[in-house]
Structure 1
Amino acid sequence: MRNPCRSFLVMLGLLLTVPPALAEVAPVPPLLSVIQLQEDLAFLKKSIQKTHPNVAYSADPAQLEQAYGKLERQLQTPMTRDEAWRVFGALNPVYNDAHLQVSMGDFDPDAAAHMATGGGFFPFEVQVNVSGELIIRAEVGGAPSSLASMRIETINGVPARQVTRQLLALTFGDNATLRANLLSGRWWRFYWKSYGTPARFDLTLATPAGPQRITRAAVALPPSKDSDFSKAYHFEMLPGGVGLLTVNTFMWPDKELFYAFTKMVFTTLRDAKASTLLIDVRDNGGGDDDMWKEGLLRYLADKPYRHGSTYEKKVIEGRASGTEQVGDIVHGEIATWHQPELANPLHFSGKTYVLIGRTTYSSSILFINTMQDFKFGTLVGESGYARARQSGGIQHMVLPNSKWGVIVPRFILDRPSGARTPELVYPDLVLPDSPLDKRALINALHARIALAKPLGANP
């Protein structure tokens, strides 16, 4: 049987990849008719029905039907494209799965067109929490900000908590915590589609000295980091024979470049006689399973492994066989086991820690499940962000009239051990991970490692 889980491709970061079909669409009319909006809803429901093996895996069926009913009642008057997004996007929290969503698709052309006329967007990177607080993390693009850690109280006269509640109600994700984390990294996009693109932002900040009012002009977005290898992957040696490998995505167009990079990493670890490796996947939203199997586990695995166990899948067009017809729901088990390369001269037998975080998702969760279940490494970080049992094999569609994207998974995969509790990813070592200081968790773990080393250990 063909492996239903060979590739765990996801968007952007948790969902950043946009297929050509989403970019090559006809123009959307200024106003969508009631008939067009109803056609989009019918298309959405049919797409999910044809693709998803079991929507109840994440969504409460009764709540979903109520949400569809509410949406149908809202589609009784013509709407702009952005108005339609705000109506359809309300389904995302009900779907309760980052792999099942009404998506913005390829927003880059619209953003580029807006900036070409001198326009800009929200000027800060922010952190949203479940309670609705909005904290400044950095300047947009990630540059340090003197205002970092300050709480935003109002945006152009609107209470920030009101804004965050409205945007969280449109955000996809497995639970409220993950949705807040995903919204944090997409703030300017969600704000844009709900509040437009004002030329300036009048903000009220909460400071120890009392409310502070500032005005910032809308800013152009910096060039995307998606094509910068050095932003996606990084390695450094820390004191005490500890290597730090940062892997921000398992999706790269030139896989051989990634494999050459990880070979260099493990060569350095061998030559330095390193005793410990930290692998940071806190910002890794997924990609292709082959990337971590070939690029990491070929050097780390010390026993046979598989990346999942039992699965449930819907047979879709193009994947039928003599025994599996389109529309069938198939239950099976991953039969492919990968053998360790113990004779590999670059095999690393030291201690491995995997740092997990707020947006570790999709194929990255398969990676950390495998590391944890086969005891290839120790998971470190905060917990409760995403399901260990993952949906996958996502399919991209486009609503026929509004042209918003639709993402639907075709299978659900249990972790290698088969365990379904705890439901959420849970690290072996729980340590705080500040969204305002990415280095804090690394430093805390590094300090613990140093304290645990016996005298005379590798300096």
Structure 2
Amino acid sequence: MSWTLVEIYRYYFNRSTRRQAYRRRNREQVLEAHLFKWLGLAMMAATLAGGVARAAETPISVAGLRSDLRLAVDTIERNHPDLSHSVSQAQLERATRRIDRQLDHPLTQAQAWSALAQLNPVLADGHLFIGLPDWRKESAQAAAEGKTFFPFEVSLDAQGALRIVSALGGAPTPFAGQRIRQINGQDAGLVVRALLARVHGDTPRSRSALLAKRWWLFYAKVYGSPVAFHIDLANAGRQVIAGSGETPAILREEASFESTYQCDVRKQGAVLTVAAFSWPDKARFFDFTNDCFARIAAAGATRLVIDIRQNGGGDDDMWRDGLLRYIADRPYKHGSGYIKRVLQPRAPGEVAGAIVSGEIETATEPPTDEPLRFKGQVYVLVGPLTYSSAVLFSNVVQDYGFAKVAGVGGAVRTRQSGGVQTLRLPNTGLLLFYPRFVLDRPSGAAKPVYIEPDLSVPDDPLNKHAAVEALLGLKSPPTDTSQ
């Protein structure tokens, strides 16, 4: 039985319960023992949590800050298989000197991240950045403890305009679609630029999409979390809105299988949403996709949209065994040429630290007897948040003609880094992420550099179904860019 402090309080101070406890003295003694044990554990947990929080707020010395910055840069330059994939060494060193000059006084961990993360846009790779430790867990815990965040989910357009999409967590708001002009007296454009200067990702478009998705987090780390926000809206004027204690949409969605994976079989076609290629229980995912394709076959659908706009990657076997087995009709490779840094020798002749290049030799054979193979038109819907293994999936279906790629392009590279390694910086506790290989797309083509869909389908931040409806023929048809 799990008791909260409120329940324990009510148990011992409610009259009728006290009379029952009096009549059952032995039971009371047992419960008292459990009570004090539970309170002791709770106090210990609170002390530990407080210790972690205090450690994050303890100022880090100038020497420690500069040491971590140098360690991060040295690690990147020593271990990256092909730094020129996203940045030149000269660019990296210039940015490092600029940041080092700013580290002239002690900083807390959040402040240290705000300073060191200025490397992230320069590194220009979603797998190469300085990040916050355990931000998902920390944010969920903060929300559970009653702390508040920026009260809206937002979008950013190509011009940097910041607009409200929904209340934080996804609930409707009468301010949806409104452009934000100021936040707490600061010009919204300046705030956007300040936060973008700390976001990781391949291009300005991909970084804008990531910032919009995690606006509440980046804003809190750079500007703090006030109790109320003074927000000036283009059409609704000045509003004073309390900070939100709701769980942000990204945390809510990532925690739910039903939000991450959806199968919607309609009369006009089917929509298979796969928002991640990672899940603790892979068997559940494979059962889900098998059931989805069975439903598609039973309905006789002739169009299928596989929506990976929110898919930031994961494990290749999830798309190989969960998707391509149902749509691939010939052998395929997940890439062509590669270059890797040997961190731990695993093959005969490998030397730690060496750079090795080669070609993917082995092709994957899709099962020839798959009874649920889909033979209709397949569209793979991509966007600026499609990344890592999801890009590899997009490359495969496009290069082998298993599907038409649709959506928004020009945001992420088709030549993807991978095999991400993690280093905890000893003084700040921040995390450095860096790749150990870079993989060419299956065709081996160097261009286009970024994902370019066969069909251009714009995204509507206020209507996530608009792009799907266009592909299913429910709205105006998309533009074919493959001709």
Contact kept? 2:80, 2:435, Cα under 8 Å: yes
2:65 maps to 1:37: yes
Q: Runs of 5+ in structure 1 lacking a partner?
A: 1-23, 453-459
Offset, 1:221: 3.2
Q: 1:117 to 1:378 in 2, by over 3 A?
A: closer
Q: Secondary structure at the match of 2:100?
A: helix
1:314 equivalenced with 2:345 (yes/no): no
What is the 5 A alignment of 1:116-127?
A: 118-127=146-155
Task: Quote the residue 2:299 is aligned against.
Answer: 272
How many Å separate the matches in 1 of 2:256 and 2:105?
A: 44
Q: Distance in 1 between matches of 2:99 and 2:190?
A: 21
Deviation at 1:109, TM superposition (A): 4.5
Deviates more, 1:63-72 or 1:215-224: 215-224
1:437 deviation in Å? 1.2
What is the CA-CA distance between 1:450 and the residue it aligns to?
11
Matching of residue 64 in structure 1 with residue 92 in structure 2: yes
Tell me the distance in 1 between the aligned counterparts of 2:476 and 2:166: 31
After TM superposition, list the pairs within 5 Å mapping 1:67-86 onto structure 2: 67-86=95-114
Equivalent residue for 1:170, pick from 198, 209, 226: 198
Deviation at 1:445, TM superposition (A): 1.5
Structure 2 equivalent of residue 325 of structure 1: 351
Pairs aligned (count) = 424
Tell me what 2:14 maps to: none
Q: More relative contact order in 1 or in 2 (CA 8 Å, sep 6+)?
A: 1
1:340 counterpart letter in structure 2:
P
Aligned with 1:233 (options 249, 261, 270): 261
Of 286, 299, 303 in structure 2, the residue corresponding to residue 259 of structure 1 is 286
Q: CA deviation at 1:159?
A: 0.7
Per-residue CA deviation, residues 272-301 of structure 1 (Å, 9 max, x unaligned), is: 222121111111111100000000111111
Q: Which residue of 1 aligns with 2:387?
A: 361
In the alignment, which of 419, 428, 431 is matched to residue 402 of structure 1?
428
Q: Secondary structure at the match of 2:473?
A: helix
Aligned pairs (5 A) from 1:190-339: 190-207=218-235, 212-222=237-247, 224-240=252-268, 242-317=269-344, 319-339=345-365
Corresponding residue for residue 374 of structure 2: 348
Corresponding residue SS for 1:161: helix
Distance 1:379 1:276 in 2: 14
Contact 2:120 2:129 in 1 (8 A): yes
2:120 to 68, 92, 103: 92
| 1:18-44 deviation line (CA, Å, top 9, x unaligned) | xxxxxx999346111111112211221
TM-score, L = length of structure 1: 0.89
Task: Look up the match of 1:447.
Answer: 473
Q: Which residue of 2 aligns with 1:376?
A: 402
> Matches of 2:57 and 2:373 in 1, distance apart?
58
CA distance in 1, matches of 2:332, 2:474: 29
2:47 maps to which residue?
Answer: none
In structure 2, the partner of 1:423 is: 449
Alignment partner, residue 107 of structure 1: 135
Higher radius of gyration, 1 or 2: 2
Pair 1:75–1:451, CA change in 2 (3 A): closer
CA distance in 2, matches of 1:29, 1:198: 17
Amino acid at match of 2:450: L
Matched, 1:437 2:460: no
The Cα of 1:114 is off from its aligned counterpart by 3.8
**Aligned sequence identity (%):** 43
1:158 is aligned, of 180, 186, 211, to 186
Q: How far does the alpha carbon of each residue in 1:40-60 deviate from its partner, in whole angstroms, 9 at most, with x for none?
A: 112212321343101111013
Q: Give the secondary structure class of the aligned counterpart of 2:238.
A: strand
CA contact (8 A) 1:25 1:403 kept: no
Question: Equivalents in 2 of 1:98, 1:111: separation in Å?
Answer: 21
Q: CA shift at 1:85, angstroms?
A: 1.1
C-alpha distance in structure 2 between counterparts of 1:115 and 1:270, whole Å:
43
Decide whether the 8 Å contact of 1:320 with 1:326 is kept in 2.
Answer: no
The Cα of 1:172 is off from its aligned counterpart by: 0.5
Retained in 1: the 8 A contact 2:56–2:110?
no
Q: CA deviation at 1:127?
A: 0.8
- In 2, the alpha carbon distance for the partners of 1:130 and 1:78 equals 36
What amino acid does structure 2 have at the position aligned with 1:218?
A: G
Preserved contact between residue 469 and residue 475 of structure 2 (Cα < 8 Å):
no
**Structure 2 unmatched ranges of 5 or more:** 1-51, 479-483
> How far did 1:398 drift?
1.1
1:184 is matched with 212
